[in-house]
Amino acid sequence: MSQRIAVIPGDGIGNEVMPEGIRALEAAARRFDLKLDFRHFDFASCDYYLDHGRMLPEDWKEQLGGFDGLFFGAVGMPDKVPDHISLWGSLLQFRRSFDQYVNLRPCRLMPGIRSPLADRRPGDIDFYVVRENTEGEYSSVGGRMFEGTEREVVIQDTVMTRTGIDRVLKYAFELAERRPRRKLTSATKSNGISITMPYWDERVQAMAEHYPNVDVDKFHIDILTANFVLHPDWFDVVVASNLFGDILSDLGPACTGTIGVAPSANINPEHHFPSLFEPVHGSAPDIHGRNIANPIGQIWCGAMMLEHFGHEQAGRAIVEGIEAVLAAGPEAAPLTPDLGGKGSTSELGEAIAAAIRDGG
Ligand code: ATP
Ligand code: MG
């Protein structure tokens, strides 16, 4: 069976790192005998917007709905198109229409990358943040009263549903079950947020009964952020509501020094709709066109996509390829300038593809 992948490079360096993402996927596909079928799309980019007055064609759901994965570059051309148009008109439409209710970010300390945390070595930090992506604190329920007066009141509600919580917890528990440490940490704040967070805790406890092999603990979000910095080795899979997950999914990769090379995924776990894989970095107009953008974020996204398809071994081979090249260091490998090297985007991409082909 082949997997159908929609390739959407977007803007700026998205167009430069995307070919390297595909090169790595093709190397893994050859080695593990997978069939990947790529189709390229020019929409969900600001160039498309400037030509058509919209980010996406009218029938985008029909065009993309049948794919297994959306392999996305970056979107944004801040000098010509305001971010709220480019972002709202593309990624956020995908997330909502394709019910991508899990946001997944790996936090893994890679060789040769300096963590801002002292004395941490590869192997010490290796966990996932699983963020609820559709409800919670980011509901648009609420409003203002007595606007502009001394009595002004502003309210915004948090909406949590049993279905919404349970489905993201189920994903997180299943992920924890597949990992060697089988550990799940829940982010809460039930000591201060007295209605929604105790409910979140209850649902975690209820779900835990179905996963007796998974070791479960919980931390209040304030001390949890401290522990990300002080004891990142404690964590394996961390599951959090939309707001807490938003914070943790920036903090986690920052602790591993990888925000520039970090991948992320917006996942529909049931495969009813395509999931989306995109590097954390943006379109980086300041370095666009110079062939110096680091392609690792895009390549690592390809690994996450293969894992989502169930090709865990092939996904792992891509991550190992990245690690092998990073471990060689800037003297021996064509690392890009942000990694202290003199290599180009395409040279680094080729080196990683070669490492994937020969198994590290
Ligand atoms: P967003 O589009 O998400 O708002 P941003 O404008 O905040 O993103 P980026 O576009 O990611 O940020 O760029 C931030 C900085 O990081 C820039 O100086 C950019 O050159 C650098 N940068 C981003 N991605 C890469 C990359 N892949 N390789 C090298 N440098 C990068
Ligand atoms: Mg930007």
Q: Which tens digit of pLDDT belongs to each residue from 261-296?
A: 999 999 999 999 999 999 999 999 999 999 999 999
- Which of 290-293's residues contact partners 24+ apart within 8 Å by CB, and which partners? 291/16, 291/344, 291/345, 291/346, 292/336, 292/337, 292/338, 292/344, 292/345, 293/13, 293/16, 293/17, 293/336, 293/345
CB within 8 A of 158, min separation 6: which ones? Answer: 136, 137, 139, 193, 196
| CB of 294 closer than 6 angstroms to any ligand 1 atom | yes
Return the structure tokens found at 133. Answer: 């992506």
Its pTM stands at 0.95
What CATH number has the domain spanning 1-100+274-360?
A: 3.40.718.10
Backbone angles phi and psi of 95, in degrees to 5: -60, -45
On whether the CB atoms of residues 242 and 131 are closer than 8 A, the answer is yes
Please indicate whether residue 221, judged by its CB atom, sits closer than 6 Å to ligand 1: no
Domain 1-100+274-360 shares a fold with domain 126-254: yes
Domain boundaries defined on the chain: 1-100+274-360, 126-254
- Average pLDDT value for residue range 328-354: 96
The confidence score (pLDDT) of residue 359 equals 82
Q: How far is CA 223 from the centre of its chain?
A: 24
> Residue 360 — pLDDT band, cuts 50, 70, 90?
low
**pLDDT band at residue 220 under the 50/70/90 scheme:** very high
Query: Is the CATH code 3.40.50.970 the one for domain 126-254?
Result: no
Whole-number Å distance between alpha carbons of 290 and 292: 5
Tokens of 305: 């996509």
Residue 22 reports pLDDT greater than 90 = yes
Instruction: Give the Cβ contact number of residue 258 at 10 Å.
Output: 23
Complex ipTM, two decimals? 0.93
Q: What is the atom index within ligand 1 of the atom nearest the CA of 283?
A: 10
Which of 92, 287, 291, 300 has most ligand 1 atoms within 8 Å of its beta carbon, as the pocket-test mutant?
287
The residue contributing the CA closest to ligand 1 atom 21 is 284
